[in-house]
């Protein structure tokens, strides 16, 4: 299992990893869903952008409240409602990078005891901020793999 420092480093690399995967890709490939129910690469980037905003909001809520109940999200509904396929992938990536830097700055300012503060995730139960960072690192890897598969035309 990765250490907290390794997980933070994973979070630092994600925007660059996404940019490298998308570099030189034509819009037709970036916006093409590899299967009816599988996201296009562009949708993956938009999801990461939007969920990054959610992470920071959840972290701030956890610091301000004792074990708050965190509201669930429906990523597929977000993709539809927010019209991810009509978004510009480059702009979404830029927004993701900016939001990720804000998240990393927030995490860097935490005191040791704050890492143990927790919220009640709708499907994962009680998660500390430390647990959230581990989940985020896994989430980044998972969606980076999904993006690369989409670019290759594989669901």
Pairwise CA distance, residues 149 & 88, whole Å:
19
Closest CA to 100 of 40, 42, 50: 50
In this predicted structure, the answer to whether residue 1 has a pLDDT above a threshold of 80 is no
In this predicted structure, the answer to whether residue 2 has a pLDDT above a threshold of 90 is no
In this predicted structure, the answer to whether residue 52 has a pLDDT above a threshold of 80 is yes
What pLDDT is stored for residue 3 in this prediction? 86
Domain count, the chain: 1
Pairwise CA distance, residues 17 & 115, whole Å:
26
Name the pTM for this structure: 0.96
Q: What is the CATH number of the domain that holds 142?
A: 1.20.120.450
C-beta pairs of 22-31 under 8 Å, 24+ apart in sequence = 22/89, 22/90, 22/93, 22/147, 22/151, 25/151, 27/89, 29/151, 30/89, 30/151, 31/85, 31/89
What residues make up the domain containing 89?
4-151
């Amino acid at each position: 299992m990765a250490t907290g420092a390794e997980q933070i480093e994973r979070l630092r690399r994600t925007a660059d990893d996404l940019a490298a995967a998308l570099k030189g890709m034509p819009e037709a490939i970036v916006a093409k869903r590899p299967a009816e129910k599988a996201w296009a690469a562009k949708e993956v980037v938009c999801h990461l952008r939007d969920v990054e905003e959610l992470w920071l909001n959840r972290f701030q809520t956890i610091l301000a409240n004792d074990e708050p109940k965190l509201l669930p999200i429906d990523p597929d509904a977000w993709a539809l409602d927010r019209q991810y396929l009509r978004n510009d992938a480059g702009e979404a990536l830029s927004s993701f990078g900016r939001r990720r830097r804000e998240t990393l700055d927030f995490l860097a300012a935490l005191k040791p005891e704050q890492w143990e503060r927790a919220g009640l995730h709708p499907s994962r139960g009680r998660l500390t901020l430390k647990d959230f960072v581990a989940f985020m690192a896994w989430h980044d890897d998972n969606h980076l793999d999904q993006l690369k598969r989409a670019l290759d035309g594989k669901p």
